[in-house]
Amino acid sequence: MAGKNIKTMDGNTAAAHVSYAFTDVAAIYPITPSSSMAEQVDEWAAYGRKNLFGQTVKLVEMQSEAGAAGTVHGSLAVGALTTTYTASQGLLLMIPNMYKMAGELLPAVFHVSARTVATHALSIFGDHSDVMATRQTGFALLASGSVQEVMDLSAVAHLSAIKGRVPFMHFFDGFRTSAEIQKIETIEYDELAELLDWQAVADFKARSMSPNSAFIRGTAQNPDIFFQAREASQPFYDALPGIVSDYMDKIGELTGRQYHLFDYVGAPDAEDVIVAMGSVCDTIEETMENLLTDRKLGLVKVRLYRPFVVEAFLAALPDTVKRICVLDRTKEPGAPGEPLYLDVRSAFFDFADAPMVIGGRYGLGSKDTTPGQIVAVFDNLAAATPKEHFTVGINDDVSMSSLDYDPRLSAEPEGTIMCKFWGLGSDGTVGANKTAIKIIGDYTDQYAQGYFAYDSKKSGGVTISHLRFGHSPIKSPYLITRADYVACHNQSYVHQYDLLKDLKDGGAFMLNARWTVDELEANLPALVKRQLVEKHARFYLIDAYKIARELGLGNYINMIMQAAFFKLANVIPIEDAIKYLREGIDAAYSRKGQAILDMNYAAVDAGVNAFIEVEVPAAWADAQDEPTSREIPAFIEEVLVPMNRQEGDSLPVSIFVDREDGHFPSGTSAYEKRGVAQSVPIWVPEHCTQCNQCAFVCPHSAIRPALLTPEEVAAAPEGFVTIEAKGKGMEGFAYRIQTSPLDCMGCSSCAEVCPTKEKSLIMPEIGWDKAEEANWEYFTTLPVRDKLVSKTTVKGSQFAKPYFEF
């Protein structure tokens, strides 16, 4: 990769970079996963970055996407090149104004990180249901499938909108592309300036509304002329594909990356061809290249989805094609087929020798689309009676629509190093991994890719980082299932997740835990033990929390874990890694003084040296856990437990029978104890004034006050300490502050709010406490005490008992 402007960035940054150049005004309302596009434009403007016109972008945040769209429309009408960034419901709110912008031939550009529209449930994740809801508006729709394509096609969108007078929506897969970090080549602003049609900009400005050259926009037209006036804009749509194609050629000349309205890859004599758009194209291409090399297969990547140029589509396909499968990343219930499928069927309709065309749905709500699924799609296409309107990526045991596939199949090229990190949301793991990718991307010839799968619980939820490194471009827009290196940054996760499922045979497993090697026998679950043996894993143990505390870094373990990763993963020589890490520390902390610098240098050294390689006992091959006896409702057992173990992908459609309308039982959090806190509060009875403020402030209701009768005190387990309750009407009651160690997230708000001089709540450096769990179990059996409720204003006191009902 010898290009001049190599940078490591995500898709949103690539879109923001190009869009800034062409934007006078950005009118926005932030929505996941588009927000960081607008945030970066805002930040660059604040720092005075100049667009192609020598000005900083004026960013306007409105009250909603409806207002943002109105602002885009109005801003364009007065001659400002205007851009917005949105997704999902945000995009839906823009639809009325989209018709107006298209009708008035205004060169708006929307960059959309395509996201699922909420139906039976909300999803912040990705599919094309939002984009497809706008295909009738008259906008041009341009699809990118990777971070590099976002960079290149963003430019095509802006350039073509200005020249062609048709507004553009440039879209790419939310999260998968918007948040995937890749090493790419950027296009610089002087290069963009040369491509811009400056006369078209001047003409656009000359057409703008002004009191100095008054005219009317937004008339009301009657049946007499509306239809004629509506058809008058047709020539602009007829001309647009040529303009887009021309700019694709110019970008090709500039970058060496040539795009077409439809790009075909695969065998020149392919008989089986997939038609798709978005990030799945890279998965398909990689699967064809690395898994299905012996078959004559092809792929049409749809770039310009609207206007859909039938002739260009047909010309892109080899004459040999006999069977076509169209993949749509949306579901339109009641339609005779999904949108791209209908377009492709219509394109071939007039030909007597038309190929077979079938369609399927994939990837809804960011369901990971893997090489195994692509193999299944090609297998289905070649079958004697292919399944039509199929789904792939799920087990649909209700409508029987799904294709069987091998979920473990992977298609990365040889030599790709793959790493997977299990971190606690906001523990710094993701940030550290981003640094690692930047180091490898920016300082070496290697390609790097990072993707971060967040739990919807965000802060406090699990984050799984998927990192790939290699010497050829990485076209694997799917999660890692064959990791060379797996790191678990939170000890409690060994009980919760199947951490080693995706470890390669002979791979490395790094566990951060406060256990000694000897304590592993008692604490590691049997599944982990068995997998370590079966996979011939190299097993490493580190107590990064202890090291961090000793170095004065508090809970910040990320520098230590990152150094350990570089030492073990062997992506670059460790000496180089240490050098780059220290340079990064210098850049980040040089103004904070030598002590801070030294502390971080020491963390790097510790990470490289302080872990222990654990010899995996052969006996672990037969490890078995003692059976647990807790009774839980069927829904929890069948749905929530697998979901919480990150195994929800395996749930079949039939699990949702009788809850097709998306309703879930309430009270499920009572069964969702995570125990992820590194430290949980301990009550110091002798200091307590019984003010209940700790319970009031706890965001998870994990700490609660109780009043007990003497009988209840007598029945309490050992260690269930109480004191005499204070206050009028409390005579004869005992009082206690109870912590739920599994619910606590370790935020320490309770300890901070405690008003007593000598704290009645302390946060020792211990996490989940089995003895305290027993106390909590007893606590939840105590009756509600009105007296306690009326004593003071408390939130989350004992009257909020676990509650469950189907």
Residues between 612 and 641 with contacts to a second copy, criterion CB under 8 A: 639
Q: Is 473 left (phi over 0), alpha (psi -120 to 50) or beta?
A: beta
Cα 688 to Cα 705: distance, rounded to the nearest angstrom: 11
Cα–Cα dist 483/396, whole Å: 28
The answer for 323, left when phi > 0, alpha when psi is -120 to 50, beta otherwise, is beta
Q: By the 8 A CB rule, do 548 and 605 touch?
A: no
Contacts of 385 (CB under 8 A, 6+ apart): none
- Residue 583 Cβ vs a second copy, minimum distance, rounded to whole Å: 36
Question: Which of 94, 763 has the CB closer to a second copy?
Answer: 94
| Of the candidate residues 2, 214, 384, 714, the single one contacting a second copy (CB under 8 A) | 214
102 binds a second copy (CB under 8 A): yes
Q: Within positions 239 to 298, which residues make up the interface with a second copy, using CB under 8 A?
A: 240
Q: Which of residues 393-412 bind a second copy (CB under 8 A)?
A: 393-396, 398-399, 401
Stretch that binds a second copy, among 34-42, 100-108, 259-267, 295-303 (CB under 8 A): 100-108
Closest approach, Cβ 738 to a second copy, in A, equals 25
Q: Which residues are CB-neighbours of 685 under 8 A, at least 6 positions away?
A: 721, 722, 723, 736, 737, 760
The reply on whether position 217 binds a second copy by CB under 8 A is yes
Half-sphere exposure of 232 (CA within 13 A, CB side): 9
Instruction: Name the one range near a second copy by CB under 8 A: 467-475, 539-547, 651-659, 686-694.
Output: 651-659
Residue 223 binds to a second copy (criterion: CB under 8 A) = yes
Q: In the bound complex, what is the minimum distance in angstroms from residue 702's beta carbon to a second copy?
A: 21
Per CB under 8 A, 106 contacts a second copy: yes
Indicate the residue among 310 and 789 with the shorter CB distance to a second copy.
310
Binding to a second copy (CB under 8 A) within 148-167 occurs at: 165-166
Residues in region 657-696 near a second copy by CB under 8 A: 657, 659-667
* Subset of 758-797 contacting a second copy (CB under 8 A): none
The C-alpha atoms of residue 682 and residue 692 are separated, in whole angstroms, by 14
CB of 792 to a second copy, least distance (A): 26
On whether the CB atoms of residues 75 and 25 are closer than 8 A, the answer is yes
Q: Which of 5, 55, 210, 221 binds a second copy (CB under 8 A)?
A: 221
Collect all residues with Cβ–Cβ distance below 8 Å to 784 and sequence separation of at least 6.
798, 799, 801
Give the bridge partners for 453, in sequence order: 464
Residue 226 found at the interface with a second copy (CB under 8 A): yes
Give all strands of the β-sheet with 734-739 in edge-to-edge order: 703-708, 734-739, 723-724
Contact string 452-481 vs a second copy (x = CB under 8 A): -x-xx-------------------------
The nearer residue to a second copy, 615 or 805, going by C-beta atoms, is: 805
Residues in 300-359 that interact with a second copy by CB under 8 A: 306-308, 310, 330-337, 339, 341-343, 345-350, 354, 356-357
Residue 745, CA distances (Å) to 422, 429, 750 in order: 17, 17, 11
Q: Which stretch binds a second copy (CB under 8 A): 137-145, 178-186, 409-417, 549-557?
A: 137-145
For the segment 76-95, give every residue that binds a second copy (CB under 8 A). Answer: 89, 92-93, 95
Q: Which residue(s) pair with 361 in the sheet?
A: 328, 391
Question: Is 580 near a second copy (CB under 8 A)?
Answer: no
* Pick 183 or 466: Cβ nearer a second copy: 466
Among residues 280 and 599, whose Cβ is nearest to a second copy? 280
Taking only Cα atoms into account, the Rg of the chain, rounded to an integer number of angstroms, comes to 30
Among residues 40, 123, 160, 410, the one that binds a second copy under rule CB under 8 A: 123
Q: Does 190 bind a second copy (CB under 8 A)?
A: no
Residue 420, beta-bridge partner list: 466, 486
Give whichever of 640 and 691 is closer to a second copy, judged by the CB atom: 640
Position 550, amino acid: E
Residue 230 contacts a second copy per CB under 8 A? yes
Q: Read off the tokens for 742.
A: 């599994």
Rounding to the nearest 10 degrees, give the CA dihedral for residues 59, 65, 68, 69.
140
- Residue 709 tokens, joined: 């009768």
Neighbours of 345 (CB within 10 A): 17
Rounded to a whole number of angstroms, the minimum distance from the CB of residue 100 to a second copy is 6
Beta bridge partners of 418: 468
Task: Yes or no: say if 317 and 300 are a contact pair by the CB < 8 Å rule.
Answer: yes
Residues 18-77 contacting a second copy, CB under 8 A: 66
Nearer to a second copy by Cβ, of 138 and 584: the residue is 138
Token pair, residue 286, equals: 């990689």
Q: Which of 218, 685, 699, 755 is the binder for a second copy (CB under 8 A)? A: 218
Q: Which is nearer to a second copy, 55 or 399 (CB)?
A: 399
Number of shown-chain residues binding a second copy (CB under 8 A): 128
Q: Is the peptide bond before 307 cis (omega within 30 degrees of 0)?
A: yes
CB of 405 to a second copy, least distance (A): 13
Task: Please name which of 528, 542, 483 lies closest in space to residue 508, comparing C-alpha atoms.
Answer: 483
Q: Which is nearer to a second copy, 121 or 612 (CB)?
A: 121
Least distance in Å: CB of 544 to a second copy? 28
Options 23-31, 135-143, 430-438, 608-616: segment touching a second copy (CB under 8 A)? 135-143
Which one of 46, 225, 612, 715 is in contact with a second copy (CB under 8 A)? Answer: 225
122 contacts a second copy (rule: CB under 8 A): yes
- Among 153, 146, 132, 136, CA closest to 88: 132
Cα separation, 536 vs 618, whole angstroms: 10
Nearer to a second copy, 96 or 699 (CB): 96
Long-range interactions of 784-790: CB distance < 8 A, separation 24+: 785/706, 785/707, 785/733, 787/707, 787/729, 787/730, 787/733, 788/705, 788/706, 788/707
CB of 633 to a second copy, least distance (A): 13
The CB-of-505 to a second copy minimum distance in angstroms stands at 26
Q: Residue 272 or residue 543: which is nearer to a second copy going by CB?
A: 272
Pairing of strands 109-114, 168-173: parallel
Using CB under 8 A, which of the segments 219-227, 262-270, 376-384, 776-784 binds a second copy?
219-227
Label residue 721 exposed, middle or buried (CB < 10 Å: 0-12, 13-18, 19+): middle
Kindly tell me which residue out of 39, 58, 191, 233 binds a second copy, with binding defined by CB under 8 A: 233
What does the alpha-carbon distance between residue 110 and residue 303 come to, in Å, rounded to a whole number? 16
Q: Which residues on neighbouring strands pair with residue 113, listed in sequence order?
A: 172
As measured in angstroms, the least distance from the Cβ of 305 to a second copy is 9
Three-state secondary-structure class, residue 305:
strand
The reply to whether 385 sits near a second copy by the rule CB under 8 A is no
Amino acid identity, position 799 = F
- Residue 397 Cβ vs a second copy, minimum distance, rounded to whole Å: 10
Q: Which stretch binds a second copy (CB under 8 A): 409-417, 450-458, 699-707, 735-743?
A: 450-458
Least separation, in Å, of the C-beta of 364 and a second copy? 4
What is the separation of C-alpha 140 from the centre of its chain, rounded to a whole number of angstroms? 26
- Residue numbers 354-383 binding a second copy by CB under 8 A: 354, 356-357, 363-368
